[in-house]
């Protein structure tokens, strides 16, 4: 067992004087970051934060997030990441579900909260001895959308995080002087992994002022990072702006949903150094990857990295041969061991040391993974996971609606958007999307609001009264195509 900053350190020699974080004109060396983390640790201890406590984190991508999370890990407490886009009601529900002791945030909540330390508070005596890392212990909690309307709080261990960083290095190959830019939110595993990679390999981490594409372009030109991660929405907007990558860019990780092959080809034409990846929160970020070339497995999400494994299973739970479609099943040191306070989902999704992803695809003869469909029960919009069941549950309390189905509709910018099909109690009544979203206001994050509304007279059903969702959605999209 060793302290946090030694556990996440693959560097061959001391790097204390190297710059670790740059945000704007402010720069912090590894030694300075470690001192700030120690001072934050002392402050949090003075606020009654102890080893084993679950502590909520609701902050943007900034130094406060970095110092706070590393300080909590330094104490042995467990940071629980909250999506900064979520509504107050959603945050409160998940705070209580996980049993958080406090929330660290700049937002106003009627929750036990800790105010970020002032300069005076950070000047206190820093006599502090960090907790040692036990690799199998839970390091962080990150939420992912539950398929049955229940929260899924993924328990990610220190070992998971370290092996994920090692997996990224196996495809990227970090060298001295490399830099990452945090282009994804830290409260998602794809964003937080960037921080852990920078910490583990002692490389520079740039924090842009915001994650808006207009700001990212300026930050890319200003910082000239070597490595970034992007989701489809960011890529499309950068291409529309005819953005050309800087000379220093060595790798661009693309994940968080489907990428059209034509889009990938355009990126390659513009000399983007593309690495397609596949993974999930449950696999601590990427588990497969490959550097894309036009003539080399372009549609693929790559091969499993390091000692991690990818298999494909049929509905009977048996592995299938190459080039046979089925459910994608993951195993290896990056795969977590389940969900907090959700034994039912843990038992359903984690079996015999494997994670049953709910995504579908196949492996070719060379072991390259090809995605057929991502989970039907989850909408992936701009890199955010949206659970249709959550929206349907809330709208079941909206009196004008008799029946509803929330489904994914393809979208040029977002990849997918949530669309809503409804049957009204009174066919003569009319409702608008604006009225529905006004009802959802304060109950749901705005990115989860339905973006399209379809009012239908009847829902197709089985003899037992079950709604035939696929038939309904197919009919709606077919009619939309005719009308367009």
Strands (E), 238-374: 251-254, 274-280, 285-291, 303-304, 309-313, 326-331, 339-340, 350-351, 354-363, 369-373
**H/E segment holding residue 20:** strand 19-23
- Look-up of token digits 């945000």: 23
Mean confidence (pLDDT) of the chain: 90
Domains of the chain: 158-377 (3.40.50.12780), 379-483 (3.30.300.30)
Give the closest residue to 195 by CA, choosing from 357, 84, 94, 79. Answer: 79
Q: Which two tokens stand for residue 190?
A: 């794809």
**What are the pLDDT digits (tens) for 107-148?**
777 899 998 988 888 887 777 888 899 999 999 999 987 545
Angle (nearest 5°) at CA 456 between 450 and 462: 105
Q: What single-letter DSSP state applies at residue 117?
A: P
CB-based burial label for 243 (10 Å; 0-12, 13-18, 19+): middle
CA dihedral 220, 222, 227, 232 (to 10 degrees): -10
Q: Which two tokens stand for residue 97?
A: 């579900």
Residue 264 falls in which region: left (phi positive, over 0), alpha (psi -120 to 50) or beta: alpha
SS3 content of the chain, % helix, strand, coil (to 5): 30, 30, 40
State the pLDDT at residue 416.
Answer: 87
Q: Which two tokens stand for residue 172?
A: 């990227």
* Average pLDDT rounded to a whole number, residues 62-88: 95
3 state DSSP class of 429? coil
* Average pLDDT rounded to a whole number, residues 161-178: 96
* Average pLDDT rounded to a whole number, residues 20-26: 95
Alpha helices per DSSP H over 319-368: 343-349
Please enumerate in sequence order all residues whose Cβ is within 8 A of that of 273, keeping only pairs 6 or more positions apart, or say none. Answer: 245, 249, 250, 251, 252, 291
Q: Is the dihedral of CA 107, 109, 111, 112 positive or negative?
A: positive
Task: Look at 168-177, 422-431, 460-469 and tell me which has the smallest mean pLDDT.
Answer: 460-469
Give the bridge partners for 104, in sequence order: 57, 114
Please enumerate in sequence order all residues whose Cβ is within 8 A of that of 322, keeping only pairs 6 or more positions apart, or say none. Answer: 362, 363, 364, 365
Task: Look at 141-155, 307-321, 327-341 and tell me which has the smallest mean pLDDT.
Answer: 141-155
State the pLDDT at residue 13.
Answer: 65
3 state DSSP class of 159? helix
State the pLDDT at residue 382.
Answer: 81
State the pLDDT at residue 198.
Answer: 97
pTM (2 d.p.): 0.85
φ, ψ dihedrals at 361, nearest 5°: 180, -160
Assign 26 a pLDDT band (cuts: 50, 70, 90).
Answer: very high
Asked whether 81 and 104 are in contact (CB, 8 A), the reply is no
Q: What single-letter DSSP state applies at residue 232?
A: H
**What are the pLDDT digits (tens) for 265-312?**
888 989 999 999 999 999 999 999 999 988 888 889 999 999 999 999
Give the closest residue to 103 by CA, choosing from 55, 50, 37, 53. Answer: 55
């Amino acid at each position: 067992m060793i302290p946090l900053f030694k556990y996440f350190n693959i560097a061959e020699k001391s790097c204390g004087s190297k710059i670790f974080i740059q945000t704007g004109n402010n720069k912090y060396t590894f030694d300075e970051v470690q001192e700030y983390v120690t001072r934050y640790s002392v402050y949090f201890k003075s606020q009654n934060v102890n080893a084993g406590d679950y502590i909520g984190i609701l902050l943007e991508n900034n130094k406060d997030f970095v110092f706070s999370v590393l300080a909590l890990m330094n104490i042995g407490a467990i940071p629980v990441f909250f999506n900064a886009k979520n509504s107050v009601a959603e945050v409160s529900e998940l705070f209580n579900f996980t049993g958080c002791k406090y929330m660290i945030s700049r937002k106003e909540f009627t929750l036990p909260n800790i105010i970020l330390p002032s300069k005076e508070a950070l000047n206190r005596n820093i006599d502090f001895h960090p907790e040692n890392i036990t690799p199998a212990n839970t390091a962080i909690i990150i939420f992912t959308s539950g398929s049955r309307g229940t929260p899924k709080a993924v328990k990610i261990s220190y070992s998971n995080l370290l092996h994920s960083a090692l997996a990224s290095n196996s495809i990227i190959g970090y060298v001295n002087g490399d830099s990452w830019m945090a282009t994804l939110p830290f409260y998602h595993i794809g964003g937080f992994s960037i921080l852990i990679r920078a910490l583990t390999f002692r490389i520079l981490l740039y924090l842009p002022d915001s994650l808006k594409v207009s700001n990212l372009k300026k930050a890319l030109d200003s910082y000239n990072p070597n490595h970034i991660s992007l989701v489809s929405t960011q890529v499309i907007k950068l291409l529309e702006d005819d953005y050309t990558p800087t000379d220093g860019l060595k790798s661009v990780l693309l994940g968080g949903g489907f990428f059209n092959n034509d889009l990938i080809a355009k990126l390659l034409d513009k000399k983007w150094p593309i690495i397609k990846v596949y993974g999930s929160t449950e696999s601590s970020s990427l588990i497969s990857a490959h550097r894309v070339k036009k003539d080399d497995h372009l549609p693929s999400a790559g091969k499993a990295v390091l000692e991690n494994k990818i298999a494909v299973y049929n509905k009977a739970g048996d592995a299938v041969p190459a080039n046979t479609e089925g459910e994608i099943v993951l195993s290896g040191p990056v795969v977590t061991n389940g969900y907090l306070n959700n034994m039912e989902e843990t038992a359903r999704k984690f079996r015999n040391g494997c994670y049953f992803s709910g995504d579908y695809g196949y492996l070719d003869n060379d072991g390259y993974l090809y995605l057929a469909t991502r989970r039907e029960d989850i909408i992936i919009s701009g890199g955010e996971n949206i659970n249709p069941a959550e929206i349907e549950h809330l709208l079941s309390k909206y009196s004008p609606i008799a029946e509803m189905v929330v489904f994914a509709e393809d979208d040029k910018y977002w990849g997918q958007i949530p669309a809503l099909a409804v049957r009204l109690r009174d066919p003569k009544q009319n409702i608008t999307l604006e009225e529905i979203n006004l009802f959802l206001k304060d109950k749901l994050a705005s990115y989860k609001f339905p973006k399209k509304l379809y009012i239908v007279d009847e829902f197709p059903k089985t003899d037992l009264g079950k709604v035939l969702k696929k038939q309904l959605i197919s009919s709606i999209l077919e009619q939309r195509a005719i009308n367009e």
